[in-house]
Structure 1
Amino acid sequence: MELHLHSHRWEARLPDWAAATVAGFGAGGILMLLEIVWAASTGRDPWLTSHMIAAMVLGWNALQTSGYSLGIVVWALVIHYVLGMAFGVMLAAIVAPFHLDSSAGMALLAGAVFGLLLYLLDFYGMSGAFTWVRELRGWPTAIGHVVFGMSAAIIYLKLEQPEQPR
């Protein structure tokens, strides 16, 4: 009997793209709920984040209004979920070839690190192009992104159908 330990070295292994997309969509929903709860618990305008996200496509005009606007919310949802799905696919493209889906703990750790790196990219790297997101920097947003990464990783782990060797 031979003992096989999970190796986390790179191997040419494709992720399950459908599972990755669904994982990103689901994790995006979890992050959105966290953002709404955080805004409501701190007395901040719960629609502010929607205006900031929509402004990525609509420009500064989306930031000139406040409160609920159906158009703003629709654009924010589209952008939020498309980015969530794209980031879910990126995470799976890292997890699968390195076998970071070998256990729930490893997947959660990989997702947490991915979420933290995503936070740094979004709120420090991309803030040059979207200056208005700088005001969202902080622990609540960082924790939300870590939860996003962990959620995407665990959802992916539960849904993936690994490629069968031929």
Structure 2
Amino acid sequence: MLIDNPSTPLPRRFLPCLTFARRLFVQNLERLFNDNALWGDFLGDGMFVPVGVTQATLTVYFDGQPIAARQGETIASCLLRAGVEKFRTTPVSGSPRLPFCMIGHCFECVVEIEGIGGRQACLSLVEEGMHIRTQLGAAELQGIKL
């Protein structure tokens, strides 16, 4: 089946393939950025300069598990780099979700940050000791479902 119109949604049977492809892309991207032999040539001429800290110097906690994070990194990129497989579940079916757009439009990356649900991980920066949890279903505010 060919899709001529790029705005046509893909059939649901392609979703597991897309999730696997996204995970593979993140793993290969991590290997690429950690390959000093490759980046050494580019960094010498000043054309490409790393932005921010490249070493993980912070620790955040996702569902109680410590994860190394980099200063200036978004929560979404930190969790994806760590191999987290779901950020939230949908309110109706409980389907697991991962970030999609990484620019704040799709709301697939919402997590609970420091006890406050409905926060977008792709727009929030990591902080030392931050506690993040998977958002299960709809966000709640002091016992009130939003």
* TM-score normalised by length of structure 1: 0.30
> Greater share of helix residues, 1 or 2?
1
Higher relative contact order (CA 8 A, sep 6+): 1
* TM-score normalised by length of structure 2: 0.33
> Greater share of strand residues, 1 or 2?
2
